[in-house]
Amino acid sequence: MQGIISTGLIGLSLGTQYALISIGFTLIFGILGVINFAHGAFYILGGYFAFTLSHSVGLPFFLAVVLAAVATGAVGYLVEFVFIDRYVSDHIATMLITLGLYLVMTTAIGQVYGPEPADFRFPVSGSLRHGGIYMPYANLIVFGVCGVVTAAVYWLLFKTRYGIALRAMADDRAVAIAQGIVPARMFPMAFAIATGLAGLTGALVTPILELDPNGGEAVVTKAFIIVILGGLGSVGGATVAAFIVSIIEAYSSVYLGSSRGALALFILVLLILLVRPSGLMGRETRRA
């Protein structure tokens, strides 16, 4: 019984991480119509920024995490402005560009930090044990921070004028532009927020898991699954799907083994898509 509860808690903690990554991914798709293959690279970049700031510069870990998120977001802003902005209406072109960016970024990171995983550890160790339930403090902290940040993203999107404008762009770009919303101002900023979220997650999570230059591919695949399951472009859907995926993953890796667990997950997603071709909470489809 305790095993089941502990596994569930790990699943929830994974869910908050997945939610942050997938919200960013789905925001970029919803607003720009771009599948960001480089999303995993931004996650890794956030990890390395935090690593440098905390280990080489000597800043306190939490300050390093915040700065890493901001720095990753800034890189995202620049990348969108220079490489992606002109091609937003061409899905295949932006896919190839973000894929190219992924390769360039991981190569650059590998050159700077070396191909071996970096020795980046979470500053808080130990774990909470209560009545047979076991949960590392690090996971609890990540759970808390990701939960708060997710709430903040919701507030930004649903309660501020900026968020309303962003959602208007996602709903109907032509009408939003006719209302006087300027894409040139919205797109890079939306990309910056989304990549900043990926950077934040990377900075928080890589010290628990592993920080190596090629870790981004698995992250992108996970974000893919979550985002289609939830419905592309839907922030609510991505959040719900992140928890579904993480909990299935946590239980299946304990009770089925990781490879069968993944197979079960993929088949579940396939079945859901066949019944609901736009995902759990998706509405429109865009042309590829």
Partner 1 sequence: MQFGRQRELVLDICGVALILLFAAIPFVTGSPLLYSWTNQTVIGLTAALGVYIMLRLGLLSFTVPAFMAIGGYAAAILAVSGTTNLILLMSVACLTPAIFAIPLGMLVLRLKGIYFVFITYILNEILQLVLFETPGLTGGSDGISGVPPASLFGMALWSPRHLVLVTVGIGMAAAVITLAVTHRFRAEFSSIEDNETLAQSLGVAVWKYRTLGLVASAGVSGLAGFALVNQLSTANPSSFSSFSAINYIAYAFIGGRRSLMGAVIGTIFVVVMSNLFSAQGQYAGGLFGLLLIGVVMIAPAGLIGLAQQVLPSRRSIQSKAPTEANTI
Name the residue among 282, 283, 237, 11 with its Cα closest to residue 143.
11
Is residue 108 at the binding interface for partner 1, with CB under 8 A as the rule?
yes
Cβ neighbours for 108, distance < 8 A, ≥ 6 positions apart? none
Residue 96 or 182 with smaller CB distance to partner 1: 96
Looking at residue 190, its amino acid is A
Is residue 255 at the binding interface for partner 1, with CB under 8 A as the rule?
no
Instruction: State how far the alpha carbon of 217 is from the alpha carbons of 43, 100, 104, 106, in Å.
Output: 10, 13, 13, 10
Is residue 262 at the binding interface for partner 1, with CB under 8 A as the rule?
yes
Neighbours of 49 (CB within 10 A): 22
Is residue 260 at the binding interface for partner 1, with CB under 8 A as the rule?
yes
Residue 3 or 100 with smaller CB distance to partner 1: 100
* The binder of partner 1 chosen from 62, 81, 87, 162 (CB under 8 A): 87
Residue 117 carries which DSSP code?
P
* The binder of partner 1 chosen from 18, 102, 122, 143 (CB under 8 A): 102
The site string for partner 1 over 7-26 (x = CB under 8 A, - otherwise) reads: --------------------
For partner 1 (CB under 8 A), the number of binding residues is 48
Residue 277 carries which DSSP code?
T
Q: For residues 164-193, which are near partner 1 according to CB under 8 A?
A: none
Q: Which secondary structure element, helix H or strand E, spans residue 108, and what is its range?
A: helix 91-113
User: CA angle, corner 148, sides to 135 and 120, nearest 5?
Assistant: 55
Name the residues that contact partner 1, by CB under 8 A: 29, 35, 37, 83, 87, 90-93, 95-97, 99-104, 106-108, 110-111, 115, 217, 221, 224-225, 227-228, 232, 259-260, 262-263, 266-267, 269-270, 273-274, 277-279, 285-288
